[in-house]
Amino acid sequence: MPNFLLFLATSIAITFAPGPDNLQVLARGISQGRAAGFVAALGFAAGISFHTTLAALGVAAVLRSSPVAFEIIKLAGAAYLIWIGIKAIRSKGLATAHERPPQPLMSIFRQSVIGNVLNPKVTLFFIVFLPQFVVPHGEQSVTLQMFELGALFMLQTVLVFSLFGVCAGMIGGWLKRRPRAGVWLDRLAGATFIAIGIRVALRD
């Protein structure tokens, strides 16, 4: 993976940015403790395997049928990344993590997986995000590269979300004392999206 470090840094920035998944991990950790937050983190990370599979098989099929179509997907993906980057920069910041009634850990895991799998925006994101770091005519197949990138994204998601879940109480208190922190996290993620989108659009 020639873009390994860039992909890893970008993925971590995106995962840290405020969003429904990490907010739910925080909410679980705050309301039910560290174990619940950790299990929720594992559930959301596990759901990534579903989106990676759809993206890998779909993009590989497009590349086999038409290299031109693959380039169109990449350019459309660049535009989409720039668009969501602009939306993130214009965001008003992090919402408050609401408490939920206690539930069994297995139920939390199952709900987290299903919640992630049934979110079509995550599938769309992976379809346009992962190909930006793929070498179409490299030594490895596009499908294998996509699965490797997806696995790396899932691994760092486990680590970051677990940090959120285990440290939910401390993080929640810090965010309440600094309500504008979410604004700057959104701006960081937005700038990351825009930079990648421009990089992809200008790359030969």
- Each residue of 56-74: pLDDT tens digit? 777 666 656 676 766 776 6
Q: Are 192 and 50 in contact (CB under 8 A)?
A: no
What is the rounded CA–CA span in Å between residue 165 and residue 178? 19
Amino acid at the residue 12: I
Q: Which of 11, 9, 36 is nearest to 25 (CA)?
A: 36
Confidence check: pLDDT of 99 > 50:
no
Burial class (CB in 10 A: 0-12, 13-18, 19+), 120: exposed
Q: What is the mean pLDDT of residues 103-120?
A: 82
For residue 29, what is the enclosing H or E element? helix 20-32
CA 51 to chain centre: 11
Give whole-number Cα distances, 105 to 10, 42, 110, in Å: 31, 11, 9
3-state secondary structure of 28: helix
Q: Report the predicted TM-score, pTM, of the whole model to 2 decimal places.
A: 0.66
Q: Are 26 and 168 in contact (CB under 8 A)?
A: yes
Q: What is the mean pLDDT of residues 25-40?
A: 80
Q: How confident is the model at residue 156 (pLDDT cuts 50, 70, 90)?
A: very high
Predicted pLDDT of residue 11:
86
Q: What is the mean pLDDT of residues 113-137?
A: 78
Q: What is the mean pLDDT of residues 93-119?
A: 71
Q: Which of 153, 144, 149, 131 is nearest to 46 (CA)?
A: 153
